[in-house]
Structure 1
C-alpha cells in the first residue's frame, strides 16, 4: 500500500491530538510582507512549520526568523505571531497544529463574513485572538 501525497491536504482531524497540513504560497513581488496569517496569538496551543521548498518568514514576538527549505520553527502558545513568503518564489511547507488551530483555520476558510468583528469572534471561539501588530509590521 502506498500513501497518497499530502500536497494540499491535511493529515489528521479535529478529533486527533494533532494535524499536519501541506500548504503552498505562490510568491510574488511586494513592497511589504504579504502575510499568510494575520498577527494573532493562540492562548493554549503551540504551532510549528517545516519548510519543504522555498522560504518562509515567521515573526514571533520581537523575532523575525527566515526559514529556508529544510528548516523548522515552533511558536509556543501565548506568543503573538504571523508568517509570510519573503520572496517572489513559491514556498511549500508543512504546518503542525493542534485540533483547536485546525478548527480555527477551517472556520476561517468557511466564513462568509470576513469583517474584523467576525474574524475576532472566530479567533476568540478557538482560544486565540487577533492582536494589533507591533510598529513597523
Structure 2
C-alpha cells in the first residue's frame, strides 16, 4: 500500500474561502482535508467585544499568531500579553480565551490536529466581502451551541475574559 501524497497549494484569504461568524471574518487557509488531518489554519479578522467565551478544547491544541493588533490570552491561570508578532500556544484540556484591545485585530489560528475549523464553516455564513461581518442581533441558541460543543469536542466554561473582571 502506498501513502496518498498531499497536493501542494498556496491559498490567500478570499471571499470564496471565508465566512462571517459572530461578526468576525474567518478565512480558511488549510482545512484538515488539505493536510491529511494533521492541522488546519485560518486567518481571523477579529472585532473587539466579540471575543469567544472561556472554553476548553478536548481534541486539539490551538495556537494563535498575532498578525495585527494587541491581544491578551488567558490560558489556565496564565495571562499572556500578545502584541503583533506574538505566538500564543493554548494546549488542549486547558481553559482559554482572549481579549482584543483594539477595534480590530488579525490572528492566524492553527489547530492540531485539524478539524475544528469545520465548526466555523457550519455556524458561519458565506462572506460577501473581505470585511467584518454583521454582528448577531441575539445570543446563539443554547441548544445549538451544546450540540456544536459535543460534535467538536469542547466545552464552554465561562464568559469571555474581558467580561469576568479578570485583568486584561
TM-score, normalised with respect to structure 1 = 0.77
Judged with a 3 Å threshold, the aligned counterparts in structure 2 of structure 1 residues 42 and 5 are, in CA distance, closer, same or farther, namely same
For these two proteins, the number of residue pairs brought into alignment is 127
* Residue 121 of structure 2 is aligned to residue 100 of structure 1: no
* Residue 91 of structure 2 is aligned to residue 73 of structure 1: no
Alignment gaps of 5+ in structure 1? 28-33
User: Residues 51 and 94 of structure 1 are in contact (CA less than 8 Å); yes or no, is this contact kept in structure 2?
Assistant: yes
Alignment gaps of 5+ in structure 2? 1-9, 15-25, 126-138
The answer for the alignment partner of 1:31 in structure 2 is none
Aligned to 2:45, which of 11, 21, 24?
24
- Choose 76-85 or 34-43, whichever is displaced more: 34-43
Measured after TM superposition, the shift of residue 44 of structure 1 is: 2.1
* Residue 155 of structure 2 is aligned to residue 129 of structure 1: yes
How much is the aligned-residue C-alpha RMSD, in angstroms? 2.6
TM-score, normalised with respect to structure 2 = 0.64
Higher Rg:
2
